[in-house]
Amino acid sequence: MSARLAVESFAARAAARLSRVAGAGGGTTIPGKLLWKLDPGAIDALAARLPQGTAVVSATNGKTTTTAMVAKILEPHTRLAWNSSGANLVSGIASTLLARRDAELGLLEVDEAALPEI
């Protein structure tokens, strides 16, 4: 991870903590919005560090259910970065990748509107 991305990630994680402490939400959107604003390439950089890659579920009815079922199957064997909160826009994807620094595999539900950005 570059020094720039490390600083941006620190700022985004701090924003998530502040959001939760202030009672302004679960911190699943704000950190991703901040990170993406600071560095539009951050999602690519964070996803690149996942040794097993990323699986994307999109463009279908049942994205949340499908992603949750796959996560249940994989979780006992793999450290996942998955957006269990349902935050499936660009900001939520960035927040998910940011939150799970130890993840081996990304399992991401992505809204069709956000797919071109991911």
Domain assignment of residue 46, given as a range? 3-117
Q: Please name the helix (run of DSSP H) or strand (run of DSSP E) that holds residue 105, with its range, or none.
A: strand 105-110
| Cβ atoms of 95 and 108 closer than 8 Å | no
Residues of the chain short of pLDDT 70, as ranges, are: none
What pLDDT is recorded for position 97? 94
What pLDDT is recorded for position 48? 95
Q: How far apart are CA 10 and CA 79, in angstroms?
A: 21
Q: How far apart are CA 92 and CA 89, in angstroms?
A: 5
What pLDDT is recorded for position 16? 86
Structural domain count of the chain: 1
Beta pairing, strands 54-58 & 105-110:
parallel
Q: Strand pairing partners for 107?
A: 55, 82
